[in-house]
Amino acid sequence: MSEVATHHHDDHHGAHATGIMRWLTTTNHKDIGTLYLLFSLVMFFIGGTMAMIIRLELFQPGLQFVDPQFYNSMVTMHALIMIFGAVMPAWTGFANWMIPMMIGAPDMALPRLNNWSFWILPFAFTMLLSTLFMPGGAPAGGWTMYPPLVLQTGDAFPFLIFAVHFMGASSIAGAINVVATVFNMRAPGMTLMKLPLFVWTWIITGFLLIASIPVLAGAVTMLLTDKFFGTAFFSAAGGGDPVMFQHIFWFFGHPEVYILILPAFGIVSAIIPTFARKPLFGYSSMVYATGAIAFLSFIVWAHHMFTVGMPLAGELFFMYTTVLIAVPTGVKVFNWVATMWQSSMTFETPMLFALGFVILFTIGGFSGLMLGVTPVDFQYHDTYFVVAHFHYVLVTGAVFALMAGAYFWMPKWTGHMYNETLAKWHFWLSVISVNVLFFPQHFLGLAGMPRRIPDYAVQFADFNMVSSIGGLGYGISQILFVIIVVKCIRGGEKATDEVWEGAQGLEWTLSSPPPYHSFTEAPDPESITGGHR
């Protein structure tokens, strides 16, 4: 493929700012992608520290280290930071780095807007984190912000609401940019059904963001007016209904779940064919399955609130639609497995994380099916079973795919190979400790341990201790990742353009690291082989 390498170092867009101003004012998709990824990494560790505090408190029954109010703040902030600060910006970082290179574009469609969508985030999270030091403490009513509880938040309350508005604006701007880039900036010959699946899953994620984040903005605006301006949206005494908030919130919240996971599907769909040295099985069914999941995500929201007292017809409708999601998701898992069937696989770190994803995400999917069945959910609701479920899909799902993607493309980004031995250690330590951390939580939940409490009955002590040990192990293992990333940025074996033997796609035709502007000339249409090769 090297004969179609199209990079030109005669950078005709002129010089760009240097030093700190380069990063503050940049309009370059790679710079912005790097900023997103580094921001996400910082947030991952801040949110992770909060998780460590949670697991420390739960190591033994009784109140040991933190008071219950602060414990609840940790639970709330951990969720907000991991969802809006770590995983979502990480996906936007990947999108920024990879999408222009994957579709043969010079940059993102709206470069200044792109800078803005990143530079909102440090300010939004400064607002959110500053609430830790306010009278009344940080928000402690859960990331779902259910009224009336959330209305009891102290001075933190308007900061929470405005921080959500602010990061929502960032997400919408980022999503609009991705959608405009993919639909307007594709190189000649890059037809929609030749797009790499990461691009496909990201466009659909973009639609989900544009359609769902404004609904969250509306919901939190209603909370704000209920608290400060005397409205009665969520007050039954005024003719409203606190349950109405849950409906509006989860109309956003369920698509949000797929916002966090769809790009992961795309990354795994890029990695498995590479290391299996075989085209992806069922490319077009992957595209349609992603679309089907996105569509269904808008009509399943009330499965988060089966126990709230809905009419029977509602319970049944939302149960059937929820369980229906297993069909397109099953198509995906089948396709990944079928891609590996009779292939010549090797097990470099990206592949290990991708395989970990397929197996462990599927476990999280199955517990999701259990929770989706209404009568069963009546027992599991608000127990540790739910906590185990969503950590399987978000940590061993989304975060494992992030790790897989980071190792997969790090040689392309930095021009150096990462340290494979250390990376394998990172994988094995992570995969073992994360299961020690979250698997016992299934049993705790089935035995009836409620979530969001700092103390628990003594019969839950053993599994909690095991879980906390796993948590500490998982937390420490991630420091390895930082070491590997720093080493890889600073040096290492020179990466080739193609990096991986089985790698296919336009990003591998550029040099490693790629030139500042990706495709200043459109790539040769002959070099575009398509997602199904």
Partner 1 sequence: MSKSNITYSNADYYVPDSSRWPLIASVSIFAMFVGGATLLNGANIGPYVLSAGFILFVYMLFGWFGDVIAESEAGTYNGQVDVSFRMGMAWFIFSEVMFFAAFFGALYYARMYSIPWLGGAGSGGATNEFLWPEFASAWPLFNTPDSYGFTQFKEVIGAWGVPFWNTLILLTSGVTCTWAHWGLKIGSRKHLIAGLSVTVILGIIFVAMQAEEYRHAYHALGLTLNSGIYGATFFLLTGFHGFHVTMGTIMLATILARCIKGHFTHENHFGFEACAWYWHFVDVVWIGLFIFVYWV
The region of 113-121, 263-271, 349-357, 418-426 touching partner 1 under the rule CB under 8 A is 113-121
C-alpha distances in Å from residue 397, one per residue of 154, 254, 262: 35, 16, 10
**Residue 464: CB minimum distance to partner 1, A:** 37
Instruction: Please report the DSSP string for 165-225 in residue order.
Output: HHHHHHHHHHHHHHHHHHHH-PPTT--GGGS-HHHHHHHHHHHHHHHHHHHHHHHHHHHHH
- Exactly one of 61, 142, 148, 158 binds partner 1 (CB under 8 A); that residue is 158
Residues belonging to the chain: 533
- Is the distance from CB of 441 to CB of 387 less than 8 angstroms? yes
Which x/- pattern over 200-219 shows residues binding partner 1 (rule: CB under 8 A)? ----------xxxxxx-xxx
When the beta carbons of 155 and 462 are compared against partner 1, the nearer one is 155
Query: Which residues in the 413-452 window bind partner 1 by CB under 8 A?
Result: none
Active site residue 284: no
Structure tokens, 234: 């969520």
Phi-psi region of 147 (alpha: psi -120 to 50; beta: other; left: phi over 0): beta
Query: Which residues in the 261-320 window bind partner 1 by CB under 8 A?
Result: 309, 311
* Residue tagged active-site, from 153, 181, 329, 349: 329
**Residue 166: CB minimum distance to partner 1, A:** 6
- Is the distance from CB of 85 to CB of 125 less than 8 angstroms? yes
When the beta carbons of 26 and 76 are compared against partner 1, the nearer one is 26
Active site residue 170: yes
Active site residue 367: no
Active site residue 451: yes
- Exactly one of 59, 116, 317, 334 binds partner 1 (CB under 8 A); that residue is 116
Query: Which residues in the 216-235 window bind partner 1 by CB under 8 A?
Result: 217-219, 221-222, 225-226, 228-233
- Exactly one of 138, 150, 195, 248 binds partner 1 (CB under 8 A); that residue is 248
- Exactly one of 4, 64, 123, 346 binds partner 1 (CB under 8 A); that residue is 123
Task: Spell out where 463-513 has E strands.
Answer: none
Q: Which long-range contacts (CB under 8 A, 24 or more apart) does 376-381 make?
A: 377/303, 377/306, 377/307, 378/306, 378/307, 380/445, 380/446, 381/306, 381/307
Active site residue 78: yes
**Residue 250: CB minimum distance to partner 1, A:** 12
Q: How far apart are the first and last CA of the chain?
A: 14
Active site residue 13: no
**Residue 163: CB minimum distance to partner 1, A:** 8
**Which DSSP symbol is given to 416?**
B
Query: Which residues in the 514-533 window bind partner 1 by CB under 8 A?
Result: 517, 519-522
Half-sphere exposure of 43 (CA within 13 A, CB side): 28
The residues annotated with a catalytic role in the active site are 78, 107, 143, 170-171, 254, 256, 258, 269, 303-304, 329, 332, 451
